[in-house]
């Protein structure tokens, strides 16, 4: 059975639960025949119950297209598990509708789970954005600390540090730009780094 599309006139309506309408087929017998692989009996079972099954699915899932899918899944399970029907535990129609209801509830729960996953994903993305904002704020605070520390250097130390670390110049280029001996330029850079380390509380030796 490739596709199920129940119609409102496809089965008994207005009958008490489990009661057969006049001239209606014996659903229990159809289930037992279906369990033996009787496809014609299963088709009759479908024709007799599809409308009620679809109506129940629509009430649970609230979506006609999904209700059709739920109904199809339920009847596929009925075909596979017809041998499990026990008339002593309830009527055939009750058993059919129980399977439909379970499939419909599973579909609703699956949709809710998918919704929770989407919500979790969005929250995670928001957390990433928050982390990025926090990181930017931290970087901004660090930049303020560096500027404050640079203010503690002597003018010649600050000039050498700015050229070396913020300007990207080598020691030799700093010496040339400042018209200093290379050793003097290195000393100013090193002394400036030591003062920066002390002011900012950064441990560890400087190379």
Which segments of the chain belong to CATH 1.10.1740.10? 1-138
Q: Tell the residue number behind the tokens 């109904």, with chain if given.
A: 71
Length of the chain: 207
Whole-number average pLDDT of the chain: 76
Q: Classify 24 as helix, strand or coil.
A: coil
How many CB atoms lie under 10 A from the CB of residue 103? 23
Give me the pLDDT at residue 57, please.
Answer: 93
Condensed to tens digits (0 to 9), the pLDDT of residues 97-131 reads 999 999 999 888 887 776 666 565 565 555 444 44
Condensed to tens digits (0 to 9), the pLDDT of residues 42-72 reads 999 999 999 999 999 999 999 898 899 999 9
- pLDDT > 70: percent of the chain: 68
Which segments of the chain belong to CATH 1.10.10.10? 151-207
Distance CA 159, CA 156 (A): 5
- Class of the CATH-defined domain 1-138: mainly alpha
Distance CA 38, CA 42 (A): 6
Q: Tell the residue number behind the tokens 């739920």, with chain if given.
A: 70
Measured over the CA atoms of residue 128, residue 132, residue 135 and residue 141, the dihedral's sign is negative
Condensed to tens digits (0 to 9), the pLDDT of residues 137-183 reads 445 556 667 777 778 888 888 888 777 766 677 888 888 878 889 88
CATH 3.40.50.300 fits 151-207, yes or no: no
């Amino acid at each position: 059975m490739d596709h199920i599309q129940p119609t409102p006139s496809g089965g008994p309506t207005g009958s008490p639960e489990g009661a057969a309408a006049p001239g209606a087929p014996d659903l229990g017998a159809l289930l037992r025949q279906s369990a033996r692989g009787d496809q014609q009996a299963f088709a009759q079972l479908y024709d007799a119950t599809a409308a009620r099954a679809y109506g129940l699915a629509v009430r649970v899932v609230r979506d006609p297209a999904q209700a059709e899918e739920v109904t199809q899944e339920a009847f596929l399970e009925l075909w596979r598990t017809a041998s499990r029907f026990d008339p002593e535990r309830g009527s055939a129609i009750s058993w059919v509708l129980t399977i439909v209801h379970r499939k419909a509830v599973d579909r609703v729960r699956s949709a809710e789970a998918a919704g929770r996953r989407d919500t979790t994903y969005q929250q995670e993305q928001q957390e990433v954005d928050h982390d990025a904002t926090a990181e930017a704020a931290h970087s901004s605070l660090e930049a303020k600390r560096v500027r404050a520390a640079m203010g503690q250097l002597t003018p010649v130390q600050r000039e050498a540090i700015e050229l070396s670390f913020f300007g990207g110049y080598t020691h030799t280029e700093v010496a040339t730009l400042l018209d200093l001996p290379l050793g003097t330029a290195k000393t100013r850079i090193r002394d400036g780094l030591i003062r920066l380390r002390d002011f900012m509380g950064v441990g560890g030796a400087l190379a």
